Chains A and B, each alone.
Chain A
Amino acid sequence: KNQVEQSPQSLIILEGKNCTLQCNYTVSPFSNLRWYKQDTGRGPVSLTIMTFSENTKSNGRYTATLDADTKQSSLHITASQLSDSASYICVVSARLGGSQGNLIFGKGTKLSVKP
């Protein structure tokens, strides 16, 4: 069964600190993996999209890694800011081409950054 598991469920860190969020998946055939940031009460916003051949991708202070062999991804946030407080959702695409119905969503990690 195609699944995406994220850990931890929630995380509290102090402003300025780094953190790493994890995503493990059992999705086949794999097409791409995405990380989204969702502020409370808002729609998700794309941070990165990684294909099979990409190991690392950065977007400002956000760096995503992908290990297709172990089917793991991580999202590293550097020098956290209060505005990083949000839910981070890992999404894996189960097929190349096709429809959005092939996307498998994780339940997200809720990050709280405290001053």
Chain B
Amino acid sequence: KAGVTQTPRYLIKTRGQQVTLSCSPISGHRSVSWYQQTPGQGLQFLFEYFSETQRNKGNFPGRFSGRQFSNSRSEMNVSTLELGDSALYLCASALGGTGELFFGEGSRLTVL
């Protein structure tokens, strides 16, 4: 069974640009959650989508947004990039609720 797939794996952007990251969950999983990971802060919850609806949102500015499609694939977007947005962005899927999370390999974003 295929795991969680995130694209792209690596990307470099400059300040002020915007970026879109994609996540394909494990087949049958309806919950997709996104996390930002930095060396100083560890993993921080961004938001979760379940059946195309945002179910919960972390404490991040409105520049961070996301959506989920009918096939459960999800995208997250960061607009007006800042240097501090440089991080590993992880996506995880789950059957639902607070079930076991299955993480993707992450998208490493560098903002110059």
Chain A residues with CB under 8 Å of chain B are: 31-32, 34, 36, 41-46, 49, 89, 93, 95-103, 105-108
Main secondary structure of the interface of B (DSSP, over half): strand
A97 with B98, Cβ < 8 A, contacts A43-B4, A107-B42 known? yes
Q: Is the CB of A44 within 8 A of B45?
A: no
A93 with B42, Cβ < 8 A, contacts A100-B92, A101-B57 known? no
Q: Is the CB of A89 within 8 A of B42?
A: yes
Nearest CB in chain A to that of B40: its residue: A107
Across-interface contacts of A107 in B (CB, < 8 A) = 41-42
Tally B residues with Cβ within 8 Å of A.
Answer: 29
> Could you tell me the distance between the alpha carbons of A102 and B55 in the complex, rounded to whole angstroms?
11
From residue A21, how far is it (CB to closest CB) to chain B in Å? 15
Across-interface contacts of B100 in A (CB, < 8 A) = 34, 46, 49
A-B contact pairs, 20 of them (CB 8 A): A41-B106, A41-B108, A43-B90, A44-B101, A46-B102, A49-B100, A97-B97, A98-B97, A99-B31, A99-B55, A99-B56, A99-B98, A100-B31, A100-B33, A101-B45, A101-B55, A102-B98, A103-B45, A105-B44, A105-B45
